[in-house]
Structure 1
Amino acid sequence: MDLTASGAISVPATKSGARGLAAASFVLAGTLLSLTGLTWDIQWHDDVGPDTFFTLPHLFLYSGSAVAGIASLIVVLRTTAATRKGKQVDPMVGGRAVGVFGRTFAAPVGYLVSGTGAAMFLLYGLWDQWWHSLYGFDAVISSPPHIGLLLSITVTMVGAVMVFAVARGERWGKFGTIGSLAVLTGFSMVTVIGLSEIDAGIVNTVVVGTAFFSVLTVIMGAEVIGRPGGALGVALSLAAIQAVFWWFSPWAAETYASMVGLPLRDNVDNVPDMPAMMPMSLILVAVAVELVRRFGTGRALAALGGTIGGLIVTGLQPVQRAWIYGAHLPPASSMIATIVAGGVFGALSGFLGWRFGVMLRQLAPAKENSDA
């Protein structure tokens, strides 16, 4: 994979912006479809039971990857055609083009990542269908093909963040970056479920993982936007997603079960599973990050903001769960150990969030970078 020539923008700014917005919007819409399908599918497993390959929640998951993948493919093919004709490629649309398969294709780097994730999803989807043909109903989310599917969607969501980060100098680029980071944060909540398999003694690894991923994306948002409001924008966007899914998940599971003639489980509590995983304390984390950034930027301050964020999430996440489910708080020893681990991993996520944010800023064209 090597860089191809990429010159100045050769189309009017308004036309360039319209093209960039249209393509990026389809990728973001695809990730939202996938997130909707996932929260619906998790609720279905909890409220109704096992499922087969062809269910409505699964179709949302598949459609999301298809929409993002087709949009990415169209951009890659258009960029390849323009490059072969000797035309200058607009770096505002997905970033500078890179040569793929010996320069057979010229792919803007953001769309290369999102398209690769979609292609991986197709392969894992075929594996999932074969898996269902062997074992029938699927009762768990942690089957091997499911893990591959979830990782593939995550890659596509990372590509969506990259696509919008390229255009962060535009208003739509800023809002898209914030929105795509919020979608990535929400989707990462299912990833942390796998951390429950790690034996860390009295430390709650799921809570620590929740803090790590959520603080990471909040600090990335602050760094990419580079102005006050980036961190808070990610947190507020996630809160909006959480609020919508809080109503949607139980309603969709019950309505679909009624449509296909399946009963709900006897112990249904009407608690939306995936939205309940999302930290409600993230707005406090964002406020803390914004206050820390008033003293400047850099790895040390990012790590400080991450530490504070990690302490907030790990301290309040057990309280959130106890409130939602009417359960008891974990033992004090477990909470203290988890909070300490949250501070340590929060510092790491703060540093990584700063580093990844800097990398995303470098995707923007040179002129836009110099103005930032």
Structure 2
Amino acid sequence: MTTIAPPAPALATRDRTSVEHSAIPWYLWAVAFASTSVIIGVTWDISWHRTIGRDTFWTAAHLAIYLGGAVAGLSCGWLVLATTFTGTERDKTASVSFWGFRGPLGAWVCIWGSFAMITSGPLDDWWHNAYGLDVEILSPPHMVLAAGILAIQIGAMLMALARQNNAPEGARGPQFLFVYAAGVLILMLATLGTEYITFPNDQHGTLFFLVSALIFPFVLVGLARSTRFGWGATGAATIYMGVTVIMIWVLQLFEARPMLAPILRQVDHMVPPAFPILLVIPAAAVDLLMTRMPGGARRLRQWGTAMIAGVVLMLVLGVVQWYFAEFLLSEGARTFVFAADQWDYNSSPGAWQYEFWSEPVTLAGAGWTALVTVMSASAGLWWGNWMKRVRR
């Protein structure tokens, strides 16, 4: 039997296109930098408030946050203008149209996020001047800021995802960038859930398991389904833990003093975030289950595998974090590495620091957690299948 080779020009064009999609363009590096700058700034800003108190708007932490927003908005705005007015026909075909302008889907999401972040800045400053300190992390201005930050993280993911899906199977650069962006997204979601899942004192209660079931099966199952990197969920969980641990270790190196009353405990350095959840272990279980599913598996098998992966994730997370939380409340964790027992300057010292703040999860709580887990994992599978088709 004779095999007919494609014409040489067509073959050369296809090879050139594959090489182009394997490379990482400057604007992907720009949005990766932007998402990193934002999450570092957010972590730093929370530490600033816990250590020093409310300060001027022009703190270094705020500048890092808004630098990330500006870089994402400007780089993606330039990309949209370049695609619209000077892009090739292929560039325009691989883009999304909005108000007559054309650009990648992720770029539009980043631009919206940048506008939301910039809007939240003066709104937050006015809020503090009018109402004083925040009682909770999620004040109205912070919710606008959080929406903008999430949009930039998701936009960065979508831009890396489109690059991955258009690149050859062996192109590692776009795959790693997608996993990195997903890890930063997990860190942002965990930061938004600080009041429910971050402190070890909460990690025996029903609310911890419910919020974890809402977030982690959705993100990790979706990521494991959509990435071409065999250990995508594990890689993203490693990024989440790694960035958090680095911030913990770096922040403790800087001396700082409270500047706003009431000062109820002595603080002499930046208060770091709590040690991250040991997410890498349950994430590895998700990867092991999801990668065994064939690409062309029937829908029923897909849903069944995703639900099992979500339940296994929460079971492993529950066992691992249950005992790790007990360790973090013990004297052995009060070291530079684990940074346990470090609290806000305006919190009164007491026995509450070493105790769990709620009753252990009940049987009814476990049942609700299982239901939320199944729904979250199912939504994650749908999201992952959608992400596998993203090309623009």
Contact 1:21 1:172 in 2 (8 A): no
**Equivalent in the alignment of 1:98:** 96
**Equivalent in the alignment of 2:215:** 213
Greater radius of gyration (CA): 2
Cα gap change, 1:213 to 1:321, in 2 (>3 Å): same
The count of residues paired between Structure 1 and Structure 2 equals 339
Moved more, 52-61 or 340-349: 340-349
**Equivalent in the alignment of 1:134:** 130
* Cα separation, 2, equivalents of 1:264 and 1:332: 30
Q: What is the 5 A alignment of 1:1-372?
A: 13-15=18-20, 17-18=22-23, 20-82=24-86, 87-90=88-91, 96-101=94-99, 103=100, 105-135=101-131, 140-168=136-164, 169=167, 170-193=171-194, 204-226=206-228, 228-252=230-254, 254-255=255-256, 257=257, 266=265, 268=267, 274-276=273-275, 278-280=276-278, 282-296=279-293, 298-326=302-330, 327-329=354-356, 333-334=360-361, 336-364=363-391
Match of 1:293, as an amino acid?
Answer: M
Normalised to the residue count of structure 1, the TM-score between the two structures is 0.79
Normalised to the residue count of structure 2, the TM-score between the two structures is 0.76
* Cα separation, 2, equivalents of 1:269 and 1:341: 43
* Cα separation, 2, equivalents of 1:209 and 1:261: 32
Match of 1:147, as an amino acid?
Answer: M
- Residue 300 of structure 1, CA deviation: 1.5
* Cα separation, 2, equivalents of 1:303 and 1:73: 39
* Cα separation, 2, equivalents of 1:335 and 1:248: 38
Match of 1:222, as an amino acid?
Answer: A
Cα gap change, 1:339 to 1:48, in 2 (>3 Å): farther
* Cα separation, 2, equivalents of 1:117 and 1:359: 21
Cα gap change, 1:315 to 1:148, in 2 (>3 Å): farther
Match of 1:126, as an amino acid?
Answer: P
Percent identity, aligned pairs only?
23
Structure 1: gaps (5+ residues)? 1-7, 197-201, 366-372
Moved more, 345-354 or 134-143: 134-143
Cα gap change, 1:216 to 1:30, in 2 (>3 Å): same
Give the superposed CA RMSD: 3.3
Cα gap change, 1:358 to 1:134, in 2 (>3 Å): same
- Residue 109 of structure 1, CA deviation: 0.7
